[in-house]
Chain A
Amino acid sequence: MADIRARIAKRAAKEFKDGDIANLGIGLPTMIPDFLPEGVSIVLHSENGFTGLAGTPEPGEEDYRVIDSGGKWVTTAPYVNFFGAEESFAIIRGGHLDMTVLGAMQVDEEANLANWIIPGKNVAGMGGAMDLVVGAKKVVIAMTHTQKGNHKIMKKCTLPLTAKKVVDMIITEMCVMEFIDGKLTLTEIHPDYTLEDVKAATEAEFAVSPNLKVMEEE
């Protein structure tokens, strides 16, 4: 499982250009900075109020005024800037983020996203997720292709939506799919899988790009 998560994070890391402003969701997306290509440095936005999220402090070196959106103590980059919720979300909602990478429970053919209500569990809340996917210029979903054998890339999401028509790209351990002219399109496939494997693991209808590429690990 660890290598599958790393594979997805590595591929997602290739989407970034040097200097991109990004917000990374909890879990797998937080692995992305470790895999950024040589010469690519990105600016991480933390929705609780700063741009310039860096890493984890050494024990004893925590600054208790500096937490991330999960409440953990973090360190900041030299160019960090701190602000309140109104500005943090103006940055998100005003189109100032180049990209957000998030996990998902379901994505569908219409580029709809469901990632905030887990069936049968207490609803923790959307936090900033709805704002992020509506506001960021590019929305990349990085997730395992299926969940315990259940489809996650659907004809139509069955879970309550986080937002409508917002997903630009899906990266899984099997493949990369992109919405090209509104149509879900397979653009890369991992060498461990065949097209039939991807079709079997995907409920949604999708096109196959004429330039279908190999999803490279390195």
Chain B
Amino acid sequence: MKNKMLTAAEAVSVIKDGDTIAVGGFLGTGSPEILLDALVAQGTKHLTLIANDGGMRDDNPYTGGRHKGVAKLIANGQVDHIIASHVGVNPDIFAGMSAGTLKCTLVPQGSLAEKLRAAGAGLGGVLTPTGLGTPVEEGKRIIEIEGVDYLLELPLKPKVSLIRADYCDKFGNFTMLKATKTFNHVMAMAGEIVIVAAEKVFEIGEKDPDFYQVSGVYVDMIVEGEEPWQI
């Protein structure tokens, strides 16, 4: 079996200046902190970042005084363009937008999930009524199906997806506990290269197959060492 186990630094070295990356989690909960730390250390610039939100800055009371999730990349000036559903929690994003250093594209949260899923599942796009009659429809096709209008949302495909799991086996099958699941599954499906950071990595066959939620087929690289306190 192909060895997918790497260090965080080795894994994120596939990310180059100007790449599009997707990072799982919701306001930092469920984001792969060891991969983000390694990407900060690597210093890769001009990234397009697909994430639900901008993470939490260290002055937010729910962070324990350290940047959570993708807030690390934004604070370090590594992101040129963020594609997200909500960026109001991290003030660095508005600061970057006012300074002209950060572009922000807003996508309804359900459409963001489906655009990623479409990319991962080989769909040409998704038809949804969400966003019709709002600024979200600008520049998009409206398609009528049996008398009802829908907005065509196109697939969104990151080059690299950074995923957090609680448990993973060495094939890459993985499991996320409680509310850390958000966006991790669809981003694992969508990414051309998928890196999973797990708290605990098991040998293949060590656990019952039903223990795992997501297929390791999507996973290219595995890094062990996520800590529960980092969530």
Q: Considering residues A47, A71, A93, A162, which has the most beta carbons from chain B within 10 angstroms of its beta carbon?
A: A71
- Bitwise, B103-125 to A at CB < 8 A (1) or not (0) is 00010111111100100000000
Residues in B neighbouring A65, C-beta threshold 8 A: 29-30, 177-180, 228, 231
Interface residues of chain A: helix, strand, loop or mixed (majority): loop
Residues in A neighbouring B176, C-beta threshold 8 A: 84
Does any Cβ of B come within 8 Å of A146's Cβ?
no
CA of A71 to CA of B90, assembled, Å: 12
Partner of A125, one of B30, B85, B133: B85
| Cβ–Cβ contact B86 & A86, under 8 A | no
| Cβ–Cβ contact B106 & A126, under 8 A | yes
Does any Cβ of B come within 8 Å of A163's Cβ?
yes
Residues in A neighbouring B109, C-beta threshold 8 A: 47, 85, 89, 126-128, 131
| Cβ–Cβ contact B29 & A67, under 8 A | yes
CA of A13 to CA of B143, assembled, Å: 38
- Bitwise, B82-106 to A at CB < 8 A (1) or not (0) is 0011111100001001000000001
In this complex, the interface size class of chain A, counting residues with CB under 8 Å from chain B, is 35 or more
Partner of B186, one of A86, A92, A117: A86
Does any Cβ of B come within 8 Å of A153's Cβ?
no
| Cβ–Cβ contact B179 & A50, under 8 A | yes
Residues in A neighbouring B147, C-beta threshold 8 A: none
| Cβ–Cβ contact B133 & A85, under 8 A | no
CA of A50 to CA of B228, assembled, Å: 20
**Beta-carbon contacts under 8 Å, A50-83 to B:** 50, 63-67, 69, 71-73, 82-83
Residue of B nearest to A128 (CB): B109
Residue of B nearest to A127 (CB): B86
Partner of A72, one of B62, B178, B184: B62
Does any Cβ of A come within 8 Å of B5's Cβ?
no
| Cβ–Cβ contact A131 & B108, under 8 A | yes
Residue of A nearest to B133 (CB): A164
A93 touching B86 in the complex, CB below 8 Å, given contacts A49-B182, A67-B27: no
CA of A112 to CA of B97, assembled, Å: 29
Residues in A neighbouring B27, C-beta threshold 8 A: 48, 67, 71
* Closest Cβ–Cβ distance, residue B110 to chain A (whole Å): 3
Residues in B neighbouring A64, C-beta threshold 8 A: 29, 228-229, 231
Does any Cβ of A come within 8 Å of B139's Cβ?
no
Partner of B88, one of A72, A89, A122, A130: A122
Residue of A nearest to B189 (CB): A86
CA of A84 to CA of B109, assembled, Å: 12
CA of A176 to CA of B107, assembled, Å: 32
- Bitwise, A133-153 to B at CB < 8 A (1) or not (0) is 011000000000000000000
| Cβ–Cβ contact B184 & A84, under 8 A | yes
CA of A66 to CA of B26, assembled, Å: 11
Residues in A neighbouring B209, C-beta threshold 8 A: none
* Closest Cβ–Cβ distance, residue B50 to chain A (whole Å): 12
Residues in B neighbouring A89, C-beta threshold 8 A: 109-110, 113-114
- Bitwise, B122-152 to A at CB < 8 A (1) or not (0) is 0000001111111110000000000000000
Does any Cβ of A come within 8 Å of B167's Cβ?
no
| Cβ–Cβ contact A134 & B129, under 8 A | yes
Identify 22 residue pairs between A and B in the complex whose beta-carbon atoms are under 8 Å apart, listed by A's number. A47-B109, A48-B182, A49-B182, A64-B229, A65-B228, A65-B231, A67-B26, A67-B27, A67-B179, A71-B60, A84-B183, A85-B52, A86-B114, A88-B113, A92-B110, A122-B88, A130-B108, A135-B130, A160-B134, A161-B134, A163-B130, A163-B134
Q: Which residues of B does A touch, CB under 8 Å?
A: 26-30, 52-53, 56, 60, 62, 84-89, 94, 97, 106, 108-114, 117, 128-136, 176-186, 228-229, 231
Q: Which residues of A does B touch, CB under 8 Å?
A: 46-50, 63-67, 69, 71-73, 82-86, 88-89, 92-93, 112, 117, 122-131, 134-135, 160-164
